[in-house]
């Protein structure tokens, strides 16, 4: 028997559940015949290490039909995500507002990878401080500033220099922290 | 000078900011050459008072391109909404999951009617108990059950029999309560 309601975890989509950076790298490497890897990014965003005149291509990829729908799962995420759902009340929280055209594809992505995930627990929002949850796992520290629960920073190249929040390097770390 | 951060109000879209029922009635009356008004609904949903074999038409309307984009504003809402934004931190919270195809149109609707409303304060979700706000104005009492703040029921025909929550009959009532 559990005591009281289950704790709530809100989990970000891009760079946490979904390997969005891998998708950007694949598109970029294909177009420009390069072989940039995540390791090459060090603590930078992809946009920061490519020639300035190519940066607009990243936005073009994100606005192209099929981009968000075909993002691969983050390695290790499905099993731990399923275990979290057994023990916690899990929300998927994604800041879709930067590319509003991604709403439908992100919804389809969730339904394809987690067919039994309830619509009621999907949240599209711009500022995740509006989410009422005990924990938030996210790669963007800006969401933690006004968040009422405990934020956990999911490691991505762009956030490697961030030191203010407890960090989860990968989904094995998520399991160790929460399960 | 204000003391501390502004209070947060989350405001529902369908049947609160947007007169979605008026849009359904217009579509239905046009197709079937009827003149059903909101008053005719008494405390019922439109689906409950029309012939059973026509109910699927309502879902058809909602799934038709342009339906959500062209919903009229709820009478009295724009002025009070603007005043609320001066005094509170306002979120628009809409349960788009029943018709996921409505994401883009709802977003376009907000941008058309409130061009300076920040993306960061738009929330698409299924269960509004996930919203961290002091107040929630909504026509669906189901969202209040686990909501952490104070819910206010915005009157719609379908909720006229509900007695558990403080009620706002219209936008003049919203002004009286909050301003």
Percentage of residues in chain B with pLDDT exceeding 70? 97
Q: Which residues of A are catalytic?
A: 12, 14
B31 in contact with A at a CB cutoff of 8 Å? Answer: no
Record the pTM: 0.91
Q: How confident is the model at residue B20 (pLDDT cuts 50, 70, 90)?
A: very high
* CB proximity B166 to A under 8 Å: no
Per-window interface: B 107-146 vs A, CB < 8 A: 107, 118-127, 129-133
For the segment A31-80, what is each residue's pLDDT rounded down to a tens digit?
Answer: 999 999 999 998 899 999 999 999 999 999 999 999 999 999 999 999 99
Q: What are φ and ψ of residue A2, in 5° steps?
A: -90, 155
Query: DSSP secondary structure string, A93-142?
Result: EE-GGGSGGGHHHHHHHHHHH-TTS-GGGEEEES-GGGB--SEEEES-GG
Pairing of strands A122-125, B122-125: antiparallel
Count residue pairs from A and B with Cβ separation < 8 A.
79
Of B96, B100, B131, the CB nearest to A130: B131
**pLDDT category, A3, cuts 50, 70, 90?**
low
Q: pLDDT tens for residues A86-112?
A: 999 999 999 877 776 788 899 999 999
Higher per-residue pLDDT: B155 or B104:
B155
Higher pLDDT, A127 or A30: A30
* Pairwise CB contact (< 8 Å): B130 & A131: yes
A103 touches chain B (CB under 8 A): yes
Question: E strand or H helix at A23, and its extent?
Answer: helix A20-32
CA angle B34, B37, B39 (to 5 degrees): 145
Residues β-bridged to residue B11: B92, B137
B112 interaction partners in chain A (CB closer than 8 Å): none
């Amino acid at each position: 028997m559990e005591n009281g309601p289950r704790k709530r975890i809100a989990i970000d989509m891009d760079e946490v559940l979904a390997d969005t950076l891998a998708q950007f790298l694949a598109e970029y490497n294909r177009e420009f015949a390069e072989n940039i890897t995540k390791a090459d990014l060090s603590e930078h965003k992809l946009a920061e290490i490519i020639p300035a005149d190519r940066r607009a291509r990243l936005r073009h990829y994100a606005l192209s039909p099929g981009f968000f729908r075909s993002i691969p799962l983050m390695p290790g995420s499905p099993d731990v995500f399923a275990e979290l759902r057994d023990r916690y009340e899990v929300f998927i929280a994604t800041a879709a507002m930067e590319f509003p055209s991604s709403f439908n594809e992100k919804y389809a992505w969730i339904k394809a990878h987690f067919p039994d995930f309830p619509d009621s627990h999907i949240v599209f929002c711009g500022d995740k401080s509006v989410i009422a949850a005990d924990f938030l796992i996210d790669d963007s520290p800006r969401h933690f500033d006004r968040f009422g629960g405990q934020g956990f920073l999911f490691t991505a190249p762009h956030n490697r220099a961030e030191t203010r929040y407890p960090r989860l390097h990968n989904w094995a770390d998520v399991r160790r922290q929460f399960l």
